Amino acid sequence: MAVIGIIGGGQLGMMIAQEARLLGAETAVLDLSEDAPAFSVCDRRVVAPSFADAESLERLCAMSDVVTYEFENIPADVLAPLAGKYNIKQGVSQLLASQDRLTEKRNAEAGGLRCGGYVKVDTPEELRAGVARFGYPCILKSRRLGYDGHGQKVLRSEADLADAERMLAVPSILEEFVDFDYEASVIMVADGDNVISFPVGQNIHRDGILDLSIVPAPQMDEALQRRMVAESEAFMRRCGYEGILAIEYFVCGDRVLFNEMAPRPHNSGHYTIEGCTTNQFRELCRYLLGMPLEEPRLVAPTVMKNILGRDMKAAEELRRMAPEGVHVHLYGKSEARRLRKMGHVTMVGVTPEEYRGRWESFFAENEC
């Protein structure tokens, strides 16, 4: 029986392991925490002192036929030598590109995608030159390790510069403020020249964290969706990327601007588990196991709601109510911090209007 090694045991690793089992494969998972969600469903485990621990990573690789990862911030200098020795099938090139916002944007442009304005910023002088170029507002971001709104600051006036300069202790990037209509994402899985794409979703954020994914994207016409998918697939082919890739875009009228990418399953694609005929985790596993990919099809209009710690009361109540078409996924994390991702709810056959009319107030009234 084939063994898929997964670096990272969070909810993405857990859902990869669940789909791998359905396809007849075993999984080995490496994580730092004894109670990582994926440890509850995997077949073998490695508890490591850090994700930079070469010995632990090699142990995982040695017990696996093929290896993947559930997050992008794995030290590349540790993983790259292992990629030459073991079957890390996606390789490390798209992992490297996604680890640094500056490299990521340059890579996107080289692959044919369009970005908003950006400049490298390492000194106060470069920061001020960038602000003079873009004007207010603009956004300062750390080049590495930022997620869910962390490691970034919106600069709205000169009064924000002092705090911004303190962020320059790490390499940073300044981006122009894009006045976008909405954000959308596309998730693809590629095996050689064959690329499959999941339906485009529209993403709504709250407190810098994804709150809702709505599919099909309600504000995007079919022609624009087709163009976004075609350009994304062409980008994967030009860059020679394989495996799974999620790309987030800003949509401004009929313009589509690259925001960021992730070479792993993506939060905005959780809806695919019930909302599509196949899902992002299954197709990643098919790729890893050398099985033919399956072209996904949307089952019905779908809304995915992220469950944070503040939403746990609502999620538990929904699970008790068990309304038709509503699927509650809880990740089994031991501590429910207010803004920690604890699960998601997928509502199949629910339009945005139906969500606002019935469920939006339900979540607001049950917020902790």
Residue for token pair 């899902």: 279
Residue 6 tokens read as 């997964």
Q: For a pLDDT cut of 70, what percent of the chain falls above it?
A: 99
Residues 35, 71 within the same domain: yes
Of 72, 83, 65, residue with least CA distance to 20: 65
Residues of the chain where predicted confidence (pLDDT) is lower than 70: 146-150
Tell me the per-residue pLDDT of 125-171, one tens digit each, with 9 for 90 and over.
Answer: 999 999 999 999 999 999 987 655 568 899 999 999 999 999 999 99
Residues 186, 267 within the same domain: yes
* Contact between residue 51 and residue 59 where contact means Cβ atoms under 8 Å apart: no
Cα-to-chain-centroid distance, residue 165: 29
State residue 298 phi and psi, 5-degree precision. Answer: -70, 130
Residues 326, 229 within the same domain: yes
Residues 70, 10 within the same domain: yes
Residues 269, 140 within the same domain: no
Of 95, 161, 87, residue with least CA distance to 125: 161
Structural domain that includes position 308: 182-365
* Contact between residue 288 and residue 323 where contact means Cβ atoms under 8 Å apart: no
Residues 172, 202 within the same domain: no
Q: b/e map of 92-112 (b: 16 or more CB within 10 Å)?
A: bbbbbbbbbbbebbebbeebe
Question: How high is the pLDDT of residue 147?
Answer: 59
Q: How far apart are CA 93 and CA 65, in angstroms?
A: 20
Question: How high is the pLDDT of residue 368?
Answer: 87
CATH number at residue 137: 3.30.1490.20
Question: How high is the pLDDT of residue 149?
Answer: 55
Q: What is the mean pLDDT of the chain?
A: 95
How many structural domains are present in the chain?
A: 3
Question: How high is the pLDDT of residue 358?
Answer: 94
Residues 79, 161 within the same domain: no
Q: How far apart are CA 100 and CA 75, in angstroms?
A: 12
Q: How far apart are CA 297 and CA 261, in angstroms?
A: 22
Residues 232, 130 within the same domain: no
Residues 77, 140 within the same domain: no
Question: How high is the pLDDT of residue 146?
Answer: 62
Question: How high is the pLDDT of residue 334?
Answer: 86
